[in-house]
Structure 1
Amino acid sequence: MNKETINIKSPRYKLVKIEHVNNLGVYNKFINWIIGEFDLYLKNNESKQLKVYFPNGWFSIGSFKSDNEEICIRIKVEGKSKIACEILMERILNTYSHVVQFYEVKNDSTYLID
């Protein structure tokens, strides 16, 4: 019985995006929205970062302080398809921009009472 094995390394695509935030409230709200948006996927959020697994890869979101003490968010997407990684990163960044807009409107709004 002859066996042939093909050792082809599957290419993995990685995208990393760093975003600066004003406070941890934005980060926490962002994580909540992402958890809600990807509620059907396997998640690991027991560590300091959220990691979500999807069929051809995963993405993670974590916070850290930069050298000048700014709060930053690191979004990392890894998968087998470059197009799928780009689409997923765009989806995550759109959610982030919605959270930032929501947080700014909520904190900067003034209410007029008639």
Structure 2
Amino acid sequence: MIDEMRSKQSGSIARTGCAELSNDLIQESTMSIIQVFFIAGRTDEQKERLIGALTDAAVKTIGIDRSDVRVILKDIPNTEYGIAGKTAKSLGRGTGRSPAGS
């Protein structure tokens, strides 16, 4: 069962498959979550810079407080990421970045 509730503050719709969530929690929330899925292989420093840049962009663009921004980064192994019918690994993308056939 999917519930839809409008936020009092932003007018946005929150959807959840968990009917037990309190309406008050959803309606008072201004938290934004940014999710990034990419091929594994970035350094911790690159990830930290990306989190900072995405947070800055959200604050500037939609006018929310920094404390309300959440960024989730998900590394996908290059053997589990497909591009045009091939794995990223076979195309030399991601961790190790070895071109195919080498």
- Length-normalised TM-score, structure 1: 0.27
Higher RCO (CA 8 Å, separation ≥ 6 residues): 1
**Greater fraction of residues in strand:** 1
**Greater fraction of residues in helix:** 1
